[in-house]
Every structure is written in C-alpha cells, then in structure tokens.
Structure 1
Amino acid sequence: MSGTVGESVDDGVRAAGQTPGRGALTAARRIVVKIGSSSLTRADGALDPAAVTAVADALASRRGDGTQVVLVSSGAIAAGITPLGLASRPRDLATQQAAASVGQGLLVAHYTRAFATHGLTVAQVLLTAEDVIRRGQYKNAQRALERLLALGIVPVVNENDAVATDEIRFGDNDRLAALVAHVVQADALVLLTDVDGLYDGHPKLPGSRRIARVTSAADLEGVVVTGRGSGVGTGGMTTKVDAAVTATGAGIPTLVAGAADAGRALGGEDVGTWFEATHPRPRTRRLWLAHAAATRGRLVLDDGAVRAITHGKRSLLAAGVVGVEGVFEAGDPVELADSDGVVVARGLVAYASEELPERFGLTTQQQREEFGDGRDRAVVHRDDLVVVARR
C-alpha cells in the first residue's frame, strides 16, 4: 500500500457511511491489533477475564469475515502481580521477569478459552528485539507467523519479558506491534488503548477535541503528546503516536482507538484517530534494524565512508572507520556517526569493539595481508545497514 488512500476508496466509504480513509481498514485482509495492559486489567492490577473475552470477541468477529488477525497483547507482567502477592507493578527487572513468567501462562490461557468459543485456536509467540534484528532470527519469525496465519491460527504475540534485558528490548508493545505489522506485511494496524483517540489537548480538559484523521506530520504540529500511561503498563499516547509514525512510514495505515470501541473500530466507524500511510511499503527487514535495536556502541566514520554508505549504498569498510565508542561484540547493533557526532546509519557490526582499532584505515587487501584470509570482511555489510540521515 502506498502513501495515501485513493479517491475511489474514499467514495465507496462515503457511500457506506464510513469515514473517508478508513476503507483501508475494512478492506484489509490481514491486520495486527495491539491491546495494552491497562485495557486488560482491573484497578488493582489483576487481569480482567471479561476484558480478555471482549477483545477476543471483537477479533473473532473480524476473523469470521476471512480477515487474518495477529494480536499483540500486553498484560503478562500485570497478570502475574496478584499470584505473586505484589501490591503493584514491580520496578526491578528480576521481579518483572518473574511476574511475566507467571502471568504469560495465565494470559494465554484466558485467550485460549475466549477464542475457543468461536472455534478459533491461538498460538503464543514470544519475541525479543535480539531475536528479530538479526537476519536468521528475522526470517524464522517471519516464517513462523506466516505459517500460523496460513493454518487459520490467531497468533498472540508479546515481548518475551521473562528473558528480555534492559539493554536490548522493544520497550513497549506499541513499537512491537508496528514492527510485527511490518514483518507480516499487514494491511492495517490497530492500537487499542484506554483513551478513545488522540486529542488536540488533554482529553479531560474542556474544549479538547478528538483528532479524527492524521494525513501527515503537519497535522501533529502543535499537538502536545505526553504521559507514561497507566500504572500497570509501560506505554502511553506518546508511544502510540510513535508506533503509528513507524507503521505509516512503512506503508501501513494505523488506527488508535479505545479498547471499549474495538468492534466499532474494526468495522471502520468514526472512532479513534486514523493515521494515513505516508510512505511506500519497504521490501526489506531494515525497518526492524532502524527501530527495534538498542545500539551497543558507535563507529565514527570519515567523510568518504559517510558518503559511501548514505549515498552510494555501499558496505562500511575498515578503511573508513576512524573511531570506536562503547563495548560490543560481533553481530551487535551499533550507530554509525560522522566526525561531528551526527548518527547517519545503524547496522550490525561484524567485529568486536576490541578488534577494530588495529584495522582503522586499512584497505581490504591490507587486512588480508595483515590478518589472513577470512579476516577482511566489511565492518558493516550493506544488507545489515540502514541509513537514518543523509549527509
């Protein structure tokens, strides 16, 4: 799907009484739906089975018309709070991991029962950022999800909080949902939350109006988006907007709507905020590298190397590296910066940080002579590199 929805689609939507542009959602044959912890839990932080059933019912209705659905669901840590006897969401990583380990099973059990009443089977898919930024793991995730959808299964995706670390994780499921939408080539993304859309002011203030449609970044100028979200979640409207920008920049239109309006939202009614796709859909996995990875270090490049990777679409060679910052291993994601410190690209580095200084400025031939065959590979191969700014 390219940048915006065409006039012919809008005309048909008007005839059906729907909001222009949202015809892309009603016509979508594959959608990714994300729901946050605050929409699945009670005030005390415990999982609310009725809320799980409600979202399952809404998705099953859409699934009944032949649409393939992937559900990205938060709630594992929140579901583990009560069984572990905790008063609130834990702040330390170890206890979060313990709560996720307990809660994930409870969460999936509820989804299994809720979808089973509609004759649907669910599959648990747990991902970490490290699993999907590397070429092999990315392909494995893609194949697994594609096969599940082909078999008529509803994948229930979550970050693998039981093993994810602070150093490399998606951080919030809004971003995870945007990336999953890209990997499965979804036709649309729906982010369900406890707020019924994006407003031009605080939703609780008099005079604040819901923004029904965003067609470009210009529509967001002057809109102040703040807030961490609820006490049981990690997101907020900021992460919803960021995820929408990520998805629409990859050709996937996005709807942010209240979980209570899930059925109406999936039906294309005028609820929430609709974000039009702004760019053509990329064909590679580089969106994952651009958004999923927490970088471990930085390589400083000379001007020639900057031009080669940003305009020449070339691999980064050792001859163009003049500095290393941070400690990392081969295969880790790193930033590539110019001499002024401006980050121009991200990539998966082929050498550990301690290996690189002795290779600074060496040509491929010089590396081969110095270190032997097989030690002259690119520092970052062009297939593992994504440009984020052109200089």
Structure 2
Amino acid sequence: MTAGLRLEVTGARRVVVKVGSSSLTTTAGGIDPATVSRLVDVLAAARGRGAEVVLVSSGAIAAGLSPLGLRKRPRGLAAQQAAASVGQGLLVHRYTEELARHDVVAGQVLLTLDDVTRRSHYRNAFSTFAKLLELGVLPIVNENDTVATNEIRFGDNDRLASLVAHLVHADLLVLLSDVDGLYTADPRDPGSTLVPEVRSFADLAHVRVGSPGAAGLGSGGMQTKLEAARIATGAGIPVVLAAAEQADAALAGERVGTLFHATGKRRSTRLLWLAHATEPKGTLLLDPGAVRAVVERRASLLAAGVTGVIGAFTAGDPVNLAGPDGAVVARGLVNFDAGEVPQLLGRSSHDLKRELGAAYEREVVHRDDLVLL
C-alpha cells in the first residue's frame, strides 16, 4: 500500500544514507552494537525493495575513543587521526559482520577532498562506486580522517554525503541524525514545531538553527545538515532528514522527518565542487557591467570588467567574484596570479595582447570554470 507515501523516496533507485556519530555510539565513545544492527536491517530492507544503497557513516573517531582510553573527542588533529585509525577498522568490522547476516558484502571507501576536487580522482571514484554497486556490494563511505590535514575535511560528513550523492548519481539523500527533523527553533523549546517539508530555502527565513549535539561526539549540527540539503537539492536530489530511530520509516517513504524537495537540476560535479567544496583564495572586484555579464549572460570574466583584487592566489586557484558593493556573486578558477592582475585591471583583451603578449589575451575567469553563488 503506497497511499500517502513520499514518491520521491519510494521511486528512488539509488539512495545515499548518512548516519552521524551520535547515532551510532554510546556516550562513552564505543560503537553501540544494537544500533548498528538495527541500521543494517533497515538498509538491507531497502535493498530488498530494489534500491541500491550507499552508506556514509561517521563514527570512526568516536569508535576509537574507548579503546584508546580517551574520555571525549580530542581537539588535536594528531589525536583525532589516531582515534580514527583505531576506530575505522572497528566500525567497518561491525558493519561487515552485520551485513553478512543478510548475505551482503560491505566495501570500504575512504575519501579525501581531492577525490571530489580533482577531475581524474572523482572520475575514478565514480567508476569504483559504479562497479561496487554492480557487484551488489554496499559501499561504506567515510572521510579518510587518518591521513587528512585540517583542510582534509569536507567540513563534516553531512557535506561529504551530499557530494557523494551527486558523485554516484543518487536519486535520494537520507540524513539520519539524533533529531527527528528540522524544527522552527531548538526542539527543546516549547513553541518549536517540526517543519515537514521544505520547497525553497527562502521558506526557512524564520527558522532558528541550534548548535551541535550535547554528547560532543559529532562534528556537525543542524547548520551542516541544512548546508548538505542545500547542496543536494540544488543539484536535483531530494533530501530526507530524520532521526536514526526513524530510518526504516524514512526509507520506506513514510512522512517522517523533513523532506527537502529538489530545487535545481543536476550539474557537473566539477561545478558542484567549485561552489561547495572549495575555499576561495582571494576576491576579484567587478564593475556593474561585468556583474551583469557574469550573472545574467553567464559570460566569462574579462580583465576590462575587473576593478580590484584582494588576497594572494596563483593561477588555477578558486576566487570569489564580487560586485561594487562587495556582495559575492560567483566563484571561479582564476587564470592569473594575484600579482599579475593589477596590470590587467580595466583593460581590453586586444590591448593586453598587443602590449603583454598573447598569453594575456585570455579570460581572467572562463565561464566553464565559473559558478554562480
């Protein structure tokens, strides 16, 4: 019986499910076997209904705390990486054992930011996921915390999940959390109410977002989940945010948690990365005409429209493009070093070619390397 079910969920052929640390581990830091077992049962049931499932699982650092005698998540990067090194093996071992009960093979996929930022890397990552799913494997994804630097981080696994959903061409992203959806304010506030559906992020102007969970095991709060939902829905992928305890109902299409409807169309992974997985190294200031050309006509940025430069960057780095009022309108990969830009300001491509050579005739940012924000 499908009456009343969410068609975005029941019709999804490929689903990415993300579960957070606080939903998998005890307050002491160890993996909760019963919780993992229940989650695996739900994922197996979804596969039984014909869906392909990719799991993005936090919990490696948290799982490593107890074996290392640590009482809480360490702040230092080296200690976090040590905990992840111990905990990742324990986490995947637990998943492997539980999935074996359903005759499902688990496959570990550890990603770094390079895997979605470098073209050759994400093509290879997509091929790996495609082959795993073709072979009937359930991929278990986490960030490669053990070797990453502080910039390693996608920021959190919510954002990682949204980028993975795009990478694997998912039809649905399900974010499982320690709260049962998006509320108008802190769920503990008496007047706070659940937001069952979000059709546009403009609808959330009056929503007050809280802080990370009190247990201190997770790295993200509701803000990171909203950002993940914004990334996925903007790329044409609907998102369900629900409590881990509601996983079965959420994946069956029942109206639990919050459904974020798709707001855009799928775009290239490269542009998705540029918009959501990069930190700008500087800013190019544009005159009004250049802003219109970039925003309205989706044109390349030429030197003639650039009025100023901020920051230190090299050719190929991501930079923000801002209008006269300082408002950022786009982000792109710049074709010149920061030190070269001042001599280009306001000058035509023809003049630059004549005076500086053919290498300076090219666009400051080509439209194929530019995304509107």
Structure-1-length-normalised TM-score: 0.86
- C-alpha separation in 1, matches of 2:303 and 2:132: 42
- C-alpha separation in 2, matches of 1:184 and 1:298: 32
- With over 3 angstroms needed to count, the CA separation of the structure-2 counterparts of 1:368 and 1:237, relative to structure 1, is same
2:7 pairs with 15, 20, 23, which one?
A: 23
- 1:270 equivalent to 2:270? Answer no
Return the letter of the residue paired with 1:350. N
CA drift at 1:225: 1.9
- C-alpha separation in 1, matches of 2:263 and 2:165: 15
Return the letter of the residue paired with 2:257. G
- C-alpha separation in 1, matches of 2:3 and 2:356: 69
Asked if the contact 1:247–1:253 (Cα under 8 Å) also holds between the matched residues in 2, the reply is yes
- C-alpha separation in 1, matches of 2:326 and 2:191: 43
- With over 3 angstroms needed to count, the CA separation of the structure-2 counterparts of 1:126 and 1:249, relative to structure 1, is same
- With over 3 angstroms needed to count, the CA separation of the structure-2 counterparts of 1:182 and 1:197, relative to structure 1, is same
- 1:252 equivalent to 2:217? Answer no
CA drift at 1:282: 3.3
- With over 3 angstroms needed to count, the CA separation of the structure-2 counterparts of 1:361 and 1:256, relative to structure 1, is same
- With over 3 angstroms needed to count, the CA separation of the structure-2 counterparts of 1:356 and 1:200, relative to structure 1, is closer
- C-alpha separation in 2, matches of 1:107 and 1:151: 22
Asked if the contact 1:301–1:336 (Cα under 8 Å) also holds between the matched residues in 2, the reply is yes
Residue 342 (structure 2) aligns with: 357
* RMSD between superposed Cα atoms in Å: 2.5
Residue 165 (structure 1) aligns with: 149
- With over 3 angstroms needed to count, the CA separation of the structure-2 counterparts of 1:131 and 1:323, relative to structure 1, is farther
SS of residue in 1 equivalent to 2:29: coil
Asked if the contact 1:168–1:294 (Cα under 8 Å) also holds between the matched residues in 2, the reply is no
- C-alpha separation in 2, matches of 1:97 and 1:367: 49
Following superposition of structure 1 onto structure 2, how do residues 143-182 of structure 1 map, counting pairs within 5 Å? 143-167=127-151, 169-182=153-166
Return the letter of the residue paired with 1:82. S
- With over 3 angstroms needed to count, the CA separation of the structure-2 counterparts of 1:140 and 1:357, relative to structure 1, is farther
Asked if the contact 2:236–2:263 (Cα under 8 Å) also holds between the matched residues in 1, the reply is yes
CA drift at 1:89: 0.6
- C-alpha separation in 1, matches of 2:154 and 2:167: 15
- C-alpha separation in 2, matches of 1:86 and 1:379: 50
Residue 316 (structure 1) aligns with: 301
SS of residue in 2 equivalent to 1:109: helix
CA drift at 1:368: 4.7
- C-alpha separation in 2, matches of 1:156 and 1:52: 13
Alignment coverage as a number of residue pairs: 372
Return the letter of the residue paired with 2:70. L
Structure-2-length-normalised TM-score: 0.89
CA drift at 1:172: 1.4
CA drift at 1:28: 0.8
Following superposition of structure 1 onto structure 2, how do residues 169-318 of structure 1 map, counting pairs within 5 Å? 169-206=153-190, 208-217=192-201, 219-229=203-213, 230-282=215-267, 285-318=270-303
- 1:336 equivalent to 2:321? Answer yes
Return the letter of the residue paired with 2:314. E
- With over 3 angstroms needed to count, the CA separation of the structure-2 counterparts of 1:163 and 1:330, relative to structure 1, is farther
Instruction: Could you tell me which runs of 5 or more consecutive residues in structure 1 were left unpaired when the two chains were aligned.
Output: 1-14
SS of residue in 2 equivalent to 1:204: coil
Residue 4 (structure 1) aligns with: none
- C-alpha separation in 1, matches of 2:323 and 2:352: 23
Residue 96 (structure 1) aligns with: 80
- 1:132 equivalent to 2:116? Answer yes
SS of residue in 1 equivalent to 2:216: coil
Asked if the contact 1:300–1:324 (Cα under 8 Å) also holds between the matched residues in 2, the reply is yes
- C-alpha separation in 2, matches of 1:353 and 1:218: 36
CA drift at 1:58: 1.1
Residue 77 (structure 1) aligns with: 61
- With over 3 angstroms needed to count, the CA separation of the structure-2 counterparts of 1:207 and 1:32, relative to structure 1, is same
Asked if the contact 1:169–1:292 (Cα under 8 Å) also holds between the matched residues in 2, the reply is no
Instruction: Could you tell me which runs of 5 or more consecutive residues in structure 2 were left unpaired when the two chains were aligned.
Output: none
Asked if the contact 1:348–1:384 (Cα under 8 Å) also holds between the matched residues in 2, the reply is yes
CA drift at 1:374: 5.0
- 1:37 equivalent to 2:21? Answer yes
Identity of aligned residues (%): 58
- With over 3 angstroms needed to count, the CA separation of the structure-2 counterparts of 1:301 and 1:223, relative to structure 1, is closer
- With over 3 angstroms needed to count, the CA separation of the structure-2 counterparts of 1:38 and 1:360, relative to structure 1, is same
Asked if the contact 2:184–2:194 (Cα under 8 Å) also holds between the matched residues in 1, the reply is yes
CA drift at 1:154: 1.7
